Amino acid sequence: AHISGSPFSVSVAPAAIHAPTTTATGTGLIRFVACTLCATFSVEARDQYGNLVPRASQDTVFVGTLLSPTLAKTLAVPAAGGSTTWNLIYTATFAARYSASVVVAQTLAHIHGSPFTVDVIPGLAVSNVSHVNITVLEGSRSNIPVTVPIFSRDIYGNQMTAGGDAFSAAIFGPATVPVVMTDLGAGLYQAVF
C-alpha cells in the first residue's frame, strides 16, 4: 500500500559547475586556419557527479586565454551560449602553436583537458601580401640567369608552410625572356630569368 499522495514527484537540480568534469570540444581547440572571429569551441558544463548544468542555473562564466609562446600575447575568449553549453569564439591571425586555457571563473580551475594545444596555420596565399626579392635583378646581365625568390604569405602576412600556390612571373620589355618557376615547398618559390 502507498502512503497518501504516493508516488511523489521529485526534481533534482545539478550541483555547481565542477571543472574536472566539464569538457570542451570543437576545431578551435585543435587546428584551424588563421582568421578573425572564426575559431570556435563549446564548453559543456557538468557538476561533480557528471550531470549537465543548465546555463540558467549558474552565473558562471568560463574564462579563456590563448597564449602563443612566440608572441606572449593573450587573447580574450568571450563566453555566450546555449542551455548547457557555452560557445566560445576567438581571433588568431598569427600562425603559431598556441596554448588555450579554459577555466571556471569563480575558482580559476582548469576544465578537463585544459590547457589545450592549438595549431593556427596560414590561410590561402594572397599575391599582394606575398613578398618578392626584386633587388636581385639590379645589375643583372644579358644571358646570365637570375634567381628571384618569392615568399608566399596569407592575408595576415603569415609565411606559408606548404607549396602548391599558383604563382607566375614575367619580365616586360623589348625582348621576350623565358621564366622557369619552381615550387621549393614551405611557401618558397623561385623564378629563374
DSSP string, 19-42: GGG-EEESGGGTEEE-EEEEEEEE
Neighbours of 64 (CB within 10 A): 28
pTM: 0.75
Q: What is the pLDDT of residue 82?
A: 61
Q: Which three cell numbers mark 159?
A: 609565411
Q: How many CB atoms lie within 10 A of CB 158?
A: 22
How many CB atoms lie under 10 A from the CB of residue 72?
Answer: 7
Q: Are 98 and 120 in contact (CB under 8 A)?
A: yes
pLDDT tens by residue, the chain, 193 residues = 788 988 899 988 999 899 999 999 988 888 888 887 678 888 888 999 999 988 765 455 787 777 776 665 555 555 666 677 888 777 788 898 888 888 988 889 999 999 999 898 999 999 999 999 888 888 888 888 999 999 999 999 999 999 898 888 888 888 888 899 999 999 999 999 8
The SS3 call for residue 47 is coil
What's the CA gap between 191 and 169, in Å, rounded?
A: 7
Q: Which three cell numbers stand for residue 183?
A: 615550387
State whether the Cα torsion 123-80-22-53 is positive or negative: negative
pLDDT of residue 71: 60
What does residue 38 show for φ and ψ, rounded to 5 degrees? -135, -5
Which residues lie below 8 Å from residue 137, measured CB to CB, with a gap of 6+?
Answer: 146, 148, 193
- Identify the pLDDT of residue 59: 58
